[in-house]
Amino acid sequence: MKTSNYNIFFPNEDKIVGYNSFSDNFIVLEPILYDLYEASVHEDMVEELVNVHENFYDILVKNGFVIDNEVDELAEIKRISNETDDNDEVFELHINPTMNCNFKCWYCYETHIKDSKMNDTTIQSTVALVDKIIEGNPKLKNFKLYWFGGEPLLYFYKTVVPLFEAIYPKIEKRGIEFFSSFTTNGLLIEQKLLDICKKFGVSNFQITLDGHRERHNKVRFVSEKRGSYDEIVNNIKLGLKNGIHMSVRINISEETLYELRNIIHDFIDIEENEKRFLSFSFFEVWQEEKDLTVDISDIVDEFRNMGFLCNYKGEQIASIRNSCYADKKNQAIINYNGDVYKCTARDFATGSREGVLNDDGTIEWNDKFQKRIYDTKFQNKPCLECKILPLCNGGCSQHRLEHINEEYCVHDFNYESKLSVVKERFYSRLFQKIPKKYELNILNSLLNIDADYFRKKEDAVQTTLTSLFMKQVRESLIDELSDINNSYIECLMHLKQNNFSKSDETLAAINKIQDQLSMNDTEEKVLLISGLPVLAYKEYKLGNYERAIELTNQCIINDDLFIDEHAFLYGHKVQQLHNVIRVMLRQGKTHEALNLGNQILNHLMFGKDIQYIGYWIENYQIENDEEVMVMVYQIFTELVSVISKISLDQEEEVNYYQLAFKNMADAPDVLNEFRELVDFIKIKNSFHQSENIDQDNLEILKNDLLESKYVHMHYPLFKSLFISAGQNSYGSNKEEFEKVYS
């Protein structure tokens, strides 16, 4: 074992904080433990720590401070960075509808062009580009659309809306996750505009304030007598009331610094449920020469102490796992005139462009693209030797382009500057991770549930095919077809045990019997009700996933032939959809699986429409179908279980929950049978939004889940609650819960 090259330590009050920039983990040590670590490093005996203090050694290993000798961290950094930047599952498109603006801020680097507006030809070419992106990339799972400028809302109704109308339905039809955001000064926001934005999936606005009212109005004004601060603040609040995330960027210079605290008072009146949609980010304007870090950090703390989510330096910085958009292969900025760029932090002069958008929607890149994405990456020697390389990522690709063949450091080779980034990251994370008053009680509560609750029980309801056989099959064949049905069940058992030879023997026997029977078309289709799921399961077990889905879809269509007379088959169809989700998850089609799961749950629980092959009842009423109710719990808890399993951190979990349980927390008229599931989603949403959670509500939910007749399925729900409530990392909380209930 050896120590990582990316360990950094610094004092904080009476403790020593350790940070590993590769694992992105912090540890807080008593000084005596730090001395022990330092001694082991100095004597080159780090492995001996396991004999001196095993728990401490395990913590160092678990958090990446001590690693295996054969690990090449730099090679791993390059691998992760390349995977991030070459990810074909995501495309980021930035559009500048205009380079005109209704303000002229002194620090703005852009050249504003009056009357510049995207014409119909460029609009059509942009739509053609999106068509090529979504049709030409079968791996695409996430499409991000950003609006920039100029002021993108100037021509919102003439340019932005037509683009949305042409682009959004195609993305939605493909089941691709969609995110859209505007970078705007916020002056033109109105309710009509927000209604359109919500219709087309816009979830974020980034709006800039240049200090408090007086200073802001000197920089951003409509006329000499009309400032913009109050209008913009009111528009931000309007966005919050509409449930849209409003990211407020506060630009800071020495002149604006000392009145920033007053901004807090202008937002103190927003509702608690609106606060979760608001965040503040703090940036020194690029012309500011004085180091304002200490002063700004104090102000950021005041914002945080008032319950506002804040980002400053450490949490803003790009990293190998979250690189700058311009570093990514699958990203482009389309200017109003069809010029193509990669970076929005420089001007949009034609001489700076990196490509051109052709009429057919193809982008013709110039040699800057090759240099940016490939030729200059990991070529700067000081970066390769730097302890914060995984965090800083050597700056962005724009820095690389501007320093070809010369050594550089985005922190001017200043160790204190680098350390300040790490410290701010620590303080930001510490603020978000401070244990809430309920946590210790609820943790003990969740870890002391009688494990017998989770023993698997047999479901009480088992609908048979008897009534269907009696009605659809000739009396002379009922016994034979019943025997075949039982043989299919036997075959299924063999497949579950991976006994393929036995399952093949059983299927061969079934085929032989069928060949000897003179069945009519209806009777053959009756047998397919039980036969197709077994055949689909066999293909699933063999890894032939597309064939498994094809057979499952055939089963759904076959069920529709009999469903008018045999309503119980609706539950059979739901089970087939559940099987499709399982196959998709095994294929790695996580987004598609969670989207389909969301559709099924919303259909069964709230009567919403479902877009899938076959006939699905409008405004479906589940009250009298106990078997389908059981399936709701099966699907719901399986989705929770899968998300906990595949999520590496809370951020990933949040994204998956938004896919799987969209619109469920706010659904009206929830049946009592599903109240506990909706309450679970509400509690999880509160965790995700870092809200204070009433311990009593958690206890009520826990007791409701334990008293439920479906409690044997609730293990994933308790596990998920513990992961969110726990005081350690996402992965550590997961491991702790599993260890207790193993």
Judge whether residue 471 has pLDDT over 90: no
The Cα 170–Cα 135 span in angstroms is 10
In 3-state terms, what secondary structure has residue 355?
strand
Return the structure tokens found at 384.
Answer: 């390769």
Question: What is the topology classification, in CATH, of domain 80-381+411-433?
Answer: TIM Barrel (3.20.20)
Confidence class for position 175, pLDDT limits 50, 70, 90: confident
Q: How far apart are the first and last CA of the chain?
A: 30
Judge whether residue 173 has pLDDT over 50: yes
Residue 558, pLDDT score: 92
Query: Strands of 15-20's sheet, edge to edge?
Result: 7-12, 15-20, 25-29
Residue 433, pLDDT score: 45
The helix (run of H) or strand (run of E) holding residue 335 is none
- What is the full DSSP assignment across 90-108? EEEEEE-S-S--S---TT-
Confidence class for position 742, pLDDT limits 50, 70, 90: low
In 3-state terms, what secondary structure has residue 181?
strand
Confidence class for position 432, pLDDT limits 50, 70, 90: low
Give which of 401, 402, 382 is closest to 392, Cα–Cα: 382
* Angle at the Cα of 731 from the Cα atoms of 728 and 737, rounded to 5 degrees: 80
For the chain, helix, strand, coil in percent to 5 are 55, 10, 35
Q: What digits encode the pLDDT tens for the residues 212-267?
A: 888 888 877 776 777 889 999 999 999 999 989 999 998 887 777 778 888 988 99
Residue 258, pLDDT score: 75
Task: Report the pLDDT averaged over residues 202-206.
Answer: 92
Return the structure tokens found at 368.
Answer: 């800057």
Integer CA distances (angstroms), 235 to 144, 228, 229, 230, 285, in order = 24, 11, 10, 9, 24
Q: What digits encode the pLDDT tens for the residues 47-90?
A: 988 888 888 898 899 899 999 999 999 999 999 999 989 999 99
Mean pLDDT over each residue of the chain, to the nearest integer: 84
Residue 285, pLDDT score: 64
Residue 440, pLDDT score: 44
Task: Report the pLDDT averaged over residues 437-455.
Answer: 52
In 3-state terms, what secondary structure has residue 514?
helix
Contact call for residues 429 and 28 (beta carbons, < 8 A) = no
Return the structure tokens found at 596.
Answer: 């389909």
Q: Which residue has the tokens 């019943």?
A: 482
- What is the full DSSP assignment across 572-617? HHHHHHHHHHHHHHHHT-HHHHHHHHHHHHHHHHH-----SSS---
Q: What digits encode the pLDDT tens for the residues 14-56?
A: 899 999 999 988 998 999 999 999 999 998 889 988 888 888 8
The Cα 689–Cα 679 span in angstroms is 15
Residue 108, pLDDT score: 46
Task: Report the pLDDT averaged over residues 544-552.
Answer: 94
The Cα 219–Cα 693 span in angstroms is 41
Residue 336, pLDDT score: 92
Residue 681, pLDDT score: 92
Confidence class for position 693, pLDDT limits 50, 70, 90: low
Residues contacting residue 581 through CB under 8 Å, at least 6 positions apart: 593, 596, 597, 600, 635, 638, 639
- Structural domain boundaries in the chain: 2-71, 80-381+411-433
Contact call for residues 416 and 703 (beta carbons, < 8 A) = no
Judge whether residue 93 has pLDDT over 60: yes
Amino acid at 103: F
Judge whether residue 461 has pLDDT over 80: no
The Cα 492–Cα 494 span in angstroms is 5
